[in-house]
A and B are shown apart, each in its own frame.
Chain A
Amino acid sequence: GAVVSQHPSWVICKSGTSVKIECRSLDFQATTMFWYRQFPKQSLMLMATSNEGSKATYEQGVEKDKFLINHASLTLSTLTVTSAHPEDSSFYICSARLEGRYNSPLHFGNGTRLTVT
């Protein structure tokens, strides 16, 4: 149980275009999802907390207008990288926590590798 599906697993796009990444909780409802970014050989940096039905909470230094997050249902959150640039190339990972259990572990998607050319 507690499977998180992330799509696509990899994407290559041209500079200036936008890319949407989907994160779905397949067998549970998640009022809260988290988006992380991971640079090569580095740790995961929390970008934002996605809340179903409300605005996302962004971490300090993360551009809200560049990384648009939408959490329209209890099983789906999307991250859109707008006007992508090569420096946005990274590994993006979403995660979700079982609803109502704030101290339960996060369940992670398999990540999306974004390459901006």
Chain B
Amino acid sequence: AQSVTQLGSHVSVSEGALVLLRCNYSSSVPPYLFWYVQYPNQGLQLLLKYTTGATLVKGINGFEAEFKKSETSFHLTKPSAHMSDAAEYFCAVDFRADKLIFGTGTRLQVFP
């Protein structure tokens, strides 16, 4: 079965610390992978995407993610957290069915 799993519904880090948000998927076909960020009462903003090519993808606001086929993972990282990074982050996968399936989301809190 095709699925998207985000480990950890809440992640808390100190300002300046590494951010790591986990995403794993289960698929029988090579998927397209996305990370979105959502601020309160707003829609979603694309952070980055992987479709083909280089497996390390750089996005906006200093975020990056690496597609690891062997681990079926697409974890999101940022070397140094900023207070403005506090938000809800969603991993999303297109299993070549022309519709996006979202993970359950991870709320990132950043402490000063």
Q: Enumerate chain A interface residues (CB-CB to B < 8 A).
A: 4, 6, 32, 34, 36, 41-46, 49, 91, 93, 95, 102-103, 105-111, 113
For the complex, count residues of B whose C-beta is within 8 A of A.
23
B window 55-111: CB within 8 A of A: 90, 92, 94, 98-105, 107
Q: Are B42's CB and A110's CB within 8 A?
A: yes
Q: For residue A98, give the distance in angstroms from its CB to the closest CB of chain B.
A: 12
- For chain B, what secondary structure do more than half of its interface residues adopt (helix, strand, loop), or is it mixed? strand
Do B102 and A44 have beta carbons less than 8 Å apart?
yes
Cβ-defined contact, A105 with B34, below 8 A: yes
Q: Chain B contacts of A95 at CB under 8 A?
A: 43-44, 100
Question: Residue A103 contacts which of B32, B36, B46 (CB distance < 8 angstroms)?
Answer: B32
A43/B90 contact (C-beta < 8 A), A106-B100, A111-B41, A111-B42 known: yes
| Additional A-B contact list (9), CB under 8 Å, known A42-B104, A46-B100, A113-B41 | A43-B90, A43-B102, A43-B103, A43-B104, A43-B105, A44-B44, A49-B99, A95-B43, A105-B34
